[in-house]
C-alpha cells in the first residue's frame, strides 16, 4: 500500500514537471545608448517565451484565411521588414498602401499611416482581421492554433493563459518591439565617432540637417521621424489623415516614415509610386506635388545634381546591415 501511494505521489510530481516543462525568463532588448529607454506596457514586459511565441505567430501562415500568408509575407527581414511591392494588398483596395518598415516600433506613439491605433498590441489585430490582408476571424484563428500543443504550452508559459486574442496580440507586439535598428554607418559616425564617412556622405548629411532643405525638421531625432502628419502634395485617391479626422485640411497627410534602412525599403511613398531614392530626392528638389494641403516646408530646393547625389549617399548610410541579417528575427525551424 505504501508503495502504491509513493508511486501515485511520484507520478503526480512527474506530470507536474511535464506541464511546467517550459520555463520563461525575463529578457532585455539590446538597444543603442543613444535611443531612449523603451516603456513596455504593463503585463507585456519582454520574456524569452513571449518573444518566441510572437516570432512563431509572425511567420505563421495559419493566420491567413487560405493559410498561404503570414505577417512576414509583407514584412520580410532582408527588406527591413517591407516587401518590395508598391502596395501590400492582395486584393483590390482603395486604401492599399506601401508596407511600412517595422524597425523601432517600440518607440512609436501610435500606428498606421493615420495614427488611429494607440498600441502595438492593438495594431496586431488589424492585419489579421482586415479582409484585404490576412482576412481571418480571431475565433477561427484560435480554433486553428489551439490544436497545436506548442502554441498552447507557449501561451500558458508566457502569459499564464490559454491561447486567446490577448496572448496572440501581446506576443506579436513583444516580437515586434524587439525589432530595434540603430547600428548603421551613420550611427557609428554620428554617435560613436567613427571616421569612415566619405566626403560625399558628409556633404549629404550637412544638407540633410540644414535649414536649406529642412529634411531633418520632419525626419527628426534618432528614429528619423517626428511621428506627425504631412502632405507632400500627392493628388491620388488616398485621402490619408482626412479619413480619420474628416477635415479637408488633412487630405493626403500621412505619418512621417522613418528613414532608417531606407535604402532597402523601395519603392517609396504611401502609394509606392517612386522606385528609387534618386527619384524621391528629385521629387523634393522640385518642390513636391501640387496638392492643396502640401506642407509649406516642401518647396523647390534648387539642389545641384551633385547635392542630390550627396543626399542619396547620406540616406544609404542609414542602413543597418546587422539588423537585416539578424537570424534571431528569422523563423525558427517549423515543428
Partner 1 sequence: MKMKIVNNYFFVVLLALFLASCGEESPQAPKPKVHLKFVPTYNGQPLSIDSVYTNSFGQQLRVENIQFYLSNIYAHNGSDSTLLKQAFMFTLLQPQTLSLNVSPQAFSSLSFGLGVPANLNKNVDPSQYENSNPLSVQGSNGMFWYWNTGYIFVKVEGRYELTGTPNAPLMDSYSYHTGDDPLYRILHFNTGNVSLSEGDARTFNIEVAIDSVFNRPIDPIDLSIDNLTHTTSNFPLAERVTNNFVSAFHLQ
Helix (H) or strand (E) segment spanning residue 254: strand 253-255
Write the binding mask 200 to 239 for partner 1: x where contact by CB under 8 A, - elsewhere.
----------------------------------------
Candidate list 64, 82, 98, 169; residue touching partner 1; CB under 8 A: 169
Cis check: omega of the bond before 259, within 30 degrees of 0: no
Part in contact with partner 1 (CB under 8 A); list of ranges 26-34, 122-130, 251-259, 323-331: 122-130
Q: Is 117 among the residues that bind partner 1 (CB under 8 A)?
A: yes
- Residue 1 grid coordinates: 500500500
Beta carbons of 72 and 58 less than 8 angstroms apart: yes
Q: Is 22 among the residues that bind partner 1 (CB under 8 A)?
A: no
**Quick one: 181 or 231, whose CB is closer to partner 1?**
231
Part in contact with partner 1 (CB under 8 A); list of ranges 3-11, 163-171, 202-210, 288-296: 163-171
Candidate list 83, 85, 93, 130; residue touching partner 1; CB under 8 A: 130
Instruction: Reduce the DSSP state of residue 237 to 3 states and report it.
Output: coil
Q: Is 331 among the residues that bind partner 1 (CB under 8 A)?
A: no
Candidate list 31, 89, 93, 119; residue touching partner 1; CB under 8 A: 119
Q: Is 62 among the residues that bind partner 1 (CB under 8 A)?
A: no
Beta carbons of 313 and 263 less than 8 angstroms apart: no
Q: How far is CA 14 from CA 3, 6, 10, 21, 156, in A?
A: 16, 12, 6, 10, 18
Candidate list 12, 78, 118, 221; residue touching partner 1; CB under 8 A: 118
Q: Is 188 among the residues that bind partner 1 (CB under 8 A)?
A: no
* Closest by Cα among 148, 175, 244 to 29: 175
Q: Is 125 among the residues that bind partner 1 (CB under 8 A)?
A: yes
Mark 184-195 as b/e (b = at least 16 C-beta within 10 Å): bbbbebbeeeee
Q: Report the distance separating Cα 179 and Cα 329, nearest Å.
A: 8
Q: Given the C-alpha cell 474628416, which residue does it identify?
A: 246
Phi, psi of 250 (to 5 degrees): -100, 5
Beta carbons of 268 and 277 less than 8 angstroms apart: yes
Candidate list 165, 200, 220, 331; residue touching partner 1; CB under 8 A: 165
Part in contact with partner 1 (CB under 8 A); list of ranges 78-86, 167-175, 287-295, 315-323: 167-175
**Quick one: 133 or 308, whose CB is closer to partner 1?**
133
**Quick one: 238 or 320, whose CB is closer to partner 1?**
238
Q: Report the distance separating Cα 205 and Cα 199, nearest Å.
A: 10
Residues in contact with partner 1 by CB under 8 A are: 95, 112, 114, 116-119, 121-122, 125-126, 129-130, 137-139, 164-166, 168-170, 243-244, 246
Amino acid at each position: 500500500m505504501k508503495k502504491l501511494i509513493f508511486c501515485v505521489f511520484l507520478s503526480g510530481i512527474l506530470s507536474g514537471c511535464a506541464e511546467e516543462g517550459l520555463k520563461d525568463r525575463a529578457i532585455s532588448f539590446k538597444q543603442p545608448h543613444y535611443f531612449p529607454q523603451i516603456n513596455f506596457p504593463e503585463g507585456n514586459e519582454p520574456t524569452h517565451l513571449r518573444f518566441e511565441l510572437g516570432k512563431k505567430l509572425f511567420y505563421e501562415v495559419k493566420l491567413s484565411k487560405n493559410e498561404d500568408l503570414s505577417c512576414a509575407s509583407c514584412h520580410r527581414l532582408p527588406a527591413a521588414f517591407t516587401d518590395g511591392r508598391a502596395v501590400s494588398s492582395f486584393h483590390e483596395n482603395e486604401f492599399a498602401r506601401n508596407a511600412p518598415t517595422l524597425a523601432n516600433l517600440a518607440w512609436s506613439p501610435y500606428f498606421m499611416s493615420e495614427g488611429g491605433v494607440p498600441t502595438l498590441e492593438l495594431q496586431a489585430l488589424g492585419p489579421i482581421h482586415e479582409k484585404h490582408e490576412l482576412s481571418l476571424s480571431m475565433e477561427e484563428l484560435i480554433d486553428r492554433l489551439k490544436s497545436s500543443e506548442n502554441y498552447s504550452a507557449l501561451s500558458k508559459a508566457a502569459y499564464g493563459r490559454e491561447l486567446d486574442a490577448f496572448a496572440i496580440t501581446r506576443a506579436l507586439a513583444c516580437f515586434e518591439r524587439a525589432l530595434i535598428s540603430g547600428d548603421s554607418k551613420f550611427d557609428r559616425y554620428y554617435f560613436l565617432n567613427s571616421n569612415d564617412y566619405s566626403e560625399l556622405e558628409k556633404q549629404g548629411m550637412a544638407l540633410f540637417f540644414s535649414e536649406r532643405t529642412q529634411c531633418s525638421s520632419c525626419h527628426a531625432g534618432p528614429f528619423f521621424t517626428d511621428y506627425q502628419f504631412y502632405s507632400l502634395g500627392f493628388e491620388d485617391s488616398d485621402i490619408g489623415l482626412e479619413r480619420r479626422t474628416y477635415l479637408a485640411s488633412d487630405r493626403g497627410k500621412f505619418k512621417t516614415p522613418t528613414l532608417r534602412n531606407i535604402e532597402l525599403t523601395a519603392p517609396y511613398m504611401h502609394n509606392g509610386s517612386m522606385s528609387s531614392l534618386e527619384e524621391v530626392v528629385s521629387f523634393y528638389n522640385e518642390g513636391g506635388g501640387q496638392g492643396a494641403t502640401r506642407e509649406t516646408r516642401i518647396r523647390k530646393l534648387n539642389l545641384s545634381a551633385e547635392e542630390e547625389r550627396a543626399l542619396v549617399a547620406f540616406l544609404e548610410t542609414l542602413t543597418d546591415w546587422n539588423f537585416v541579417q539578424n537570424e534571431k528575427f528569422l523563423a525558427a525551424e517549423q515543428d
